[in-house]
Structure 1
Amino acid sequence: MFDQYRSPYIALLLILLTGCSSVYYDTMESVGYHKRDILVDRVEAAKDAQTDAQEQFKSALDQFASVIRLEESDLKRAYDDLNHEFESSESAAQEVTDRINKVESVAEDLFEEWQEELELYENQKLKAASKQQLSKTKSRYRSMLKSMRQAEKTMQPVLNNFRDNVLYLKHNLNAQAIGSLRGEFGNLKADITNLINRMNQSIKRSDEFIRDMQSAN
């Protein structure tokens, strides 16, 4: 992916210019990298962020399962471990949101530019073909984005549930607290399973969109 940069010079230049999207796009286009290429890269990055989030939430669930098997003497360590997993899950969720937002940003710019450039055509047959391709690309993109956002929304209830349990353990470092957490484990497991399924659907849509964009080149 181009986001890994082709040279230290380009990397430095992009760091200086990313504050202004128009300058950023112009710079990227000057090295042969257009908005559609950036969009594909960002969809790929969002997909990777969701995969990482899946693994993190699985790890958090495993940690939760280990906590409810601990004896009272292990409670302080159990809280520290569980809280670490919660904070890591929160960071992973934020990364997913940030990546999706970047996808949405460049997609909006791409479609706006594409729509404006339709008016530059003299050949009406080519214009009609390009307009039809724009419509199809928008439709595929919206379907993919909807799936991404649905997966994103399933993260917050899981985090809320997780946070509640971490706080409860923090405030009640005793065997009774562990007993209460055992009762919550089933709900958290079901929520994370649903989250992972949603993300798998989103990742599948992302792969399909990437293939469509690449085949259209």
Structure 2
Amino acid sequence: MANTSVIKLFAASWVKTLLAGAAILSATACTNVYYNAMERLGYEKRDILVTRVERSRDAQSDAQETFRNALERYQSVIDTPDTDLRARYEEVLAAYDDSEDAAANVRRRINDVEDVAGDLFDEWEDELDRYTNQDLRASSERQLGQTREQYQRLISQMRQTEERMEPVLRAFEDQMLYLRHNLNAQAIGALEGELARIRSDVNTLIDNMEASIRESEAFIQRLRNNS
């Protein structure tokens, strides 16, 4: 009986491993099909990376406006005591939902950048061994090192932006949850004390996004100059 249990556990573990491997192979195959299709249309991984960095930059720019707008909406809820409490809660909820959506889009765009960048650098490094002209190989290797170094600054800045979104989102969520269960004037007063901290976090986040957008522009320019 014990042996049967061991066999079943081993079989279940083997099936999970097999399924995980199949999922990885499937994802890799899909990615390769995508790259091959784009190459037939004249778009190399470098071009795809430029497009994805641009989309990430635009997502962060949109998120800046969303977070600014959310902060203004929170401020207006506190500054308009005569407004219906239910209406004020709905305003806070909408601000929180919009911020969550913007943050999710930023995260998705950053992940997209990281995926194609890894594939581009792997391909670039592998192709160094195909050179017969050592001067050209050395030049390409230098460009690879410089581009990878600049990319590391970019992705580090992007991930820092991603991290800085979290405390803002959590603060917005706290405000929304508190109002949901405390729809009274005293609750509005309690939220007012948190507004200064939230404003500081939002301003820090926006500054960080500005830095990330500048890094994105510089990286896009490098890729275009080297194309």
TM-score between the two structures when normalised by the length of structure 2: 0.86
Q: Distance in 2 between matches of 1:98 and 1:117?
A: 29
The answer for the alignment partner of 2:8 in structure 1 is none
Contact 1:158–1:191 (8 Å) recurs in 2: yes
The answer for the alignment partner of 2:124 in structure 1 is 114
The answer for the alignment partner of 2:90 in structure 1 is 80
The answer for the alignment partner of 1:40 in structure 2 is 50
Instruction: Within 5 Å, give how 1:42-81 maps onto structure 2.
Output: 42-71=52-81, 74-81=84-91
Percent identity reads 48
| Among candidates 193, 197, 208, match of residue 198 of structure 1 | 208
Report the count of equivalent residues.
201
Query: Post-superposition shift, 1:26?
Result: 0.7
Confirm or deny that 1:185 pairs with 2:195: yes
Q: Please tell me the residue identity of whatever aligns with 1:23.
A: V
The answer for the alignment partner of 2:7 in structure 1 is none
Contact 1:54–1:199 (8 Å) recurs in 2: yes
Match of 2:144, SS state, is helix
Query: Post-superposition shift, 1:72?
Result: 5.5
Runs of 4+ in 1 over 2 A off after TM superposition: 70-73
The answer for the alignment partner of 1:147 in structure 2 is 157
Confirm or deny that 1:137 pairs with 2:147: yes
The answer for the alignment partner of 2:179 in structure 1 is 169
Contact 1:53–1:93 (8 Å) recurs in 2: yes
The answer for the alignment partner of 1:100 in structure 2 is 110
Query: Post-superposition shift, 1:84?
Result: 0.7
The answer for the alignment partner of 2:33 in structure 1 is 23
The answer for the alignment partner of 1:10 in structure 2 is none
Gaps of 5+ in 2: 1-26
Largest Rg, 1 or 2: 2
The answer for the alignment partner of 1:157 in structure 2 is 167
Q: Please tell me the residue identity of whatever aligns with 2:187.
A: A
TM-score between the two structures when normalised by the length of structure 1: 0.90
Distance 1:165 1:113, change over 3 A: same
Query: Post-superposition shift, 1:70?
Result: 2.3
Q: Distance in 2 between matches of 1:48 and 1:40?
A: 12
The answer for the alignment partner of 1:4 in structure 2 is none
Q: Distance in 1 between matches of 2:134 and 2:29?
A: 37
Distance 1:19 1:77, change over 3 A: farther
Contact 2:63–2:103 (8 Å) recurs in 1: yes
Match of 1:145, SS state, is helix
What CA deviation, in whole Å up to 9, does each residue of 1:76-126 have, x standing for no partner? 001001101101100100000000000000000000001111111111111
Contact 1:72–1:174 (8 Å) recurs in 2: no
Distance 1:66 1:44, change over 3 A: same
Contact 2:92–2:175 (8 Å) recurs in 1: no
